[in-house]
Amino acid sequence: MVVSCTGGEAGDILNEGLADRAMAERDLPGLRRIEMARAQAVMGVQHRWLGYVDSGMAREDGSLPPAAFASIPVEVSAEPLIRLVRRFRPHVLVAYDENGGYPHPDHIQAHVVAMEAWRESGVAGSYPDAGEPWEVSKLYFDRIFNGAKLRAVREHLVATDAAPEMLEAVDEMLGWMGDRPDLATTHVDVGQHFEARDRALLSHASQVAPDSTFFRWPRDLQQRAWPFEDFQLVESRVDAPDEEHDLFAGIVDEESAVRA
């Protein structure tokens, strides 16, 4: 299940060659919904919109529109997610960290809302109108950008005598990361699914162009150098190994256990 908090109302068109530019300029949130449906079909996942309005970036004085997602108190904005958690009953929750991946107000608010759902979804009496309590077993932060991945890619670029601009790009990213620690604890081998991943990304055509930085390195090089998606296990209510290769490690399928 993928959950989108806002409709991208304050977003930008980041693809100069966008075929649906007329619709994007007329109704960007409507186009974003179509794009999400296309990506959802590629990945074969369920998806829900929470229905909040995109906050955009903060104004010069630091303020945000009063009705936007990041302006709404967490006890209000978290309830739809808690209701969804209690209905869908996931064992794992993956969220942004406290910086939101990058400090967009809505990304940070998405972290705040996810943390509230992690703490409160399983608490009897908390959010009483949001359904029967359900306790999520594991909480992860996405760690897609990490030094280990970039260094592995760089090694393969050097070994294959790649174009200088590719090395410059990875060196620029490593420089930008500085001495930031690698916090990923869980590396899931999904290299065989990179083609589907890329098609899903390209489905978000108003945000992702074919020449985007997402695709700056050849897919086959990525599959050889670092065929993983990376996550940080932040909290767990079940016993889990120190080094994981599966987000569901340590979780017992109760129905299977009963049948056994």
- Kindly report, residue by residue over 168-210, the tens digit of the pLDDT: 999 999 999 888 899 999 999 999 999 999 999 999 999 999 9
Alpha carbon of residue 236 to chain centroid: 19
What would the mean pLDDT of 29-53 be, rounded to a whole number?
A: 98
Q: How confident is the model at residue 243 (pLDDT cuts 50, 70, 90)?
A: confident
Q: How confident is the model at residue 242 (pLDDT cuts 50, 70, 90)?
A: confident
Query: Phi and psi for 49 in degrees, rounded to 5?
Result: -100, 135
- Does the structure show a pLDDT above 60 at 260? no
| Domains annotated on the chain, with CATH | 2-144+232-259 (3.40.50.10320)
> How many CB atoms are located within 10 Å of the residue 39 CB?
21
Q: What are phi and psi of 99, to 5 degrees?
A: -95, -5
**Average pLDDT score over residue span 68-78:** 97
**CA separation for the pair 171, 254 (Å, rounded):** 47
Average pLDDT, the chain: 94
Per-residue pLDDT, 254: 59
**What's this model's pTM, rounded to 2 decimal places?**
0.93
Distance (Å) of CA 131 to CA 87, 115, 121: 7, 18, 9
